Amino acid sequence: MARTIELDTAADGVAVLRLNRPDRLNAINEVMQGELRQALDALTADRAVRAVVLTGAGRGFCSGIDVRDFGAGMLDAGDPAIDRMRFQEAMTALPRAIRALPQPVIAAVNGPCVGAGLALCLAADIRICSAAATFGNAAILLGLSGAEMGMSYHLPRIVGTSVAADWMLTGRTVTAEEADRRGLVSQIVEPGGLLARAVELAGHVAGLAPLGVELTKRALQVNTDAASLDAALELENRNQVLSHATDDAAARRQTWTAK
């Protein structure tokens, strides 16, 4: 059986994590759920990887949970609520694991990015997309809550509360152009050049001082919810002192000043 997750080295320090069910637009089934967790655990422990590109095989990024062919773990409408809670917790572990990676994650959205796929995308640190990409929150269209898998936390912080409410309450399809205009992605790339651009961007990040990069990622995450400017400055000041004391930083400063 082909693996539902591919993990490759694309450049020095850069790993490409590819969702690999192209015949189903990379919809998440039970096997993919488990293999994705394993891959994320492996990346967490791999200090040679300094940046990660997350993308999908074929013409889609991820079309959400495969409700038609998920596997034995899919629940029926009549199953107890406690079982539904456990299912939700298992799914939400995926974006949490992406966010918790020590390496910055660049989501390269190559096509439809829907539901659980959108949740994975939102958990990344940087998002770029092809001109063919589309985004959507599909749960609301199925009679469910549009707030799932961290979407009600991440999306308002990225695009603002009003835009997030529009997308989450209507479930409408969002084009690459609108995603760029609203700040969901930082750039649009022609489809044929998306992966190369993502790897290039990841390679640039991977070439920087690892501790400085990781502390920057963590500060962005923590200070988005900082109680005050003083609290944010306290964390930033600590991080600067820690990173300044490394041999890597000293060597880079010497190189910079010699230019």
- Percent of the chain residues topping a pLDDT of 90: 83
- Asked if residue 169 and residue 106 are part of one domain, the reply reads yes
Question: Is the Cβ–Cβ distance between 72 and 30 less than 8 Å?
Answer: yes
CB 139 within 8 A of CB 148: yes
Amino acid at 105: V
Structural domains of the chain, count: 2
In terms of domains, do 11 and 113 share one?
A: yes
Q: Are residues 85 and 141 in the same domain?
A: yes
Q: Are 220 and 145 part of one and the same domain?
A: no
Do 72 and 120 lie in one domain? The reply is: yes
Lowest mean pLDDT among 98-112, 140-154, 166-180: 140-154
**Residue 48 reports pLDDT greater than 60:** yes
CATH number, domain of 99, equals 3.90.226.10
| 257: confidence class by pLDDT, cuts 50, 70, 90 | low
> Do residues 168 and 221 share a domain?
no
The whole-number pLDDT of residue 245 equals: 75
Q: Which of 148-162, 212-226, 227-241, 243-257 has the lowest mean pLDDT?
A: 243-257
Structure tokens at 219: 């500060």
Beta bridge partners of 188: 129
Which contiguous run of DSSP H or E holds residue 254?
helix 247-257
**Residue 242 belongs to domain spanning:** 210-257
Single pTM value for the model = 0.93
Q: Is the dihedral of CA 220, 222, 226, 232 positive or negative?
A: negative
Give the confidence band of 74 by pLDDT, cuts at 50, 70, 90.
Answer: confident
pLDDT in tens, 23-40: 999 999 999 999 999 999
Q: What angle do the packed helices 161-170 and 151-159 form, to 10 degrees?
A: 130
DSSP state letter for 176: H
Q: Tell me the β-bridge partners of 17.
A: 7, 54
